[in-house]
Structure 1
Amino acid sequence: MARTDPQVNIRMPAELKERLEQARKLSNRSLNGEIVNRLALSLDADDVADEAPLPKRELPPGAEIDHGVQVWAERLLKPSNRGELETLLATIRAMLKSAS
């Protein structure tokens, strides 16, 4: 992002700003970068709602997943959601690193 990009000033509830602050720390982004990334992911999701998902892989014997995990997995497997998947993985890595 360049300094020549347009600026947009917005108001948001303090609780939402705090959630964004926490998320940006986990993803090692600026607050602006976190907001821009999340807006882009949201708009990208709208663009790819009708894309076919990648082929599913079989679970190991005895493994079970709940419905919520299944929904997220199907969403993340869409080819154009790679950025969202990479962000999720980076967040999980940061969480694991801070937990150890």
Structure 2
Amino acid sequence: MDVFWSTPPVTRTLVALTCAQSVLVFAGVLNPYLILFSPNLLFKFPPQIWRLCTSFMMTGPKWSFFFDLYHMHNFGSGLEKDSPRFSGPGDFFTYVVFVGTVILSVL
């Protein structure tokens, strides 16, 4: 638990949410159709806003689950702690949101 709580907050939250969502989908508790990004379902009434975030928080099955979470933790915490570009309190979060927005705008 010490490793988890010593991880920077944005990376810790992303890794925990990705782990939880992937476990729920692979266990059959959560329907994978509910997490995919679909503009048709995003812009209907009522809007399904969670699709903007959940499409990024899915890992692959088997060994990919562990490797995806490990690399997300390793590179995310490295960027959030040691990068001179992300020195402000919300810089890494802003970067993650910006990259996600760019990826979704291309789709």
Q: Answer with 1 or 2: which has the greater Rg.
A: 1
If each structure's helix is expressed as a fraction of its own residues, which one has the higher value?
2
Fold shared by both chains (TM-score > 0.5) = no
TM-score, normalised with respect to structure 1: 0.29
